[in-house]
Amino acid sequence: MAELILVRHGQANSHATDEASYDKLSPLGHEQARWLGEHMRTTNPHFDRVITGTLRRQKETAASMGYVDAQVDARLDELQYFAMAAALEAEHGIETPQDPTEFAAHLPTMIGHWAADRVEGVPERFSEFYARTTGLVNEVCEGHGRVLLVTSGGVIGAIMRHVLHLGDAGMAKIMLQVMNSSVHRLEYVHETLMLGSFNATPHLDIPGREHARTFI
């Protein structure tokens, strides 16, 4: 049996307009991660492996949680949203969103075009992104033990698509709901990968931390 605990990174630079400036935790993001690490240490602290992507915000989340010696695997890296949005606008005239409301409408459209290979100028094809994310999960499931994966919302969306057999729209809806520093538990048992819990934030459910429940 393998247990996979997926964690989305803490809040990043929500005012960014490109990949590089987005890729760092905000002060609140560090606090979210620290609270989550404290919660894990008082509940079920043991992990046989801790793995993050190569992105700064993912590594900072793991470190603020208390896991400074995590393995690094690029298969947990996020899709490049800003580059993809620019390609979608250039090729199809679909404008890049300017606020969270526009983003919520834009993301499903972008995912639909991307998954259908209707955007040429993207850094990575959807098939490549999906293969690497699910490939890592399948690899972890071949072993045993409890594994913590610190990653991003798009990766979690792809993995949930894989587990729940979702379509493009379902994956986009999942991505929009994944909160910063949220926890998602998967179990591989009887040769089947099953969802145990989704989008849990026990470390943010404490009174006085309502402000820390963020999506962007």
Residue pair 185/5 in contact by the 8 Å Cβ criterion: yes
Give the separation between CA 132 and CA 162, rounded to whole angstroms.
12
Report the predicted TM-score, pTM, of the whole model to 2 decimal places: 0.95
Contact partners, residue 43, CB within 8 Å, separation at least 6? none
Per-residue pLDDT of the chain (216 residues; tens, 9 = 90+): 899 999 999 999 877 788 888 999 999 999 999 999 999 999 988 999 999 999 999 999 999 999 999 999 999 999 999 999 999 999 999 999 988 889 999 999 999 999 999 999 999 999 999 999 999 999 999 988 999 999 999 999 999 999 999 999 999 999 999 999 999 999 999 899 999 999 999 999 999 999 999 998
For residue 139, report the phi and psi dihedrals to the nearest 5 degrees. Answer: -65, -45
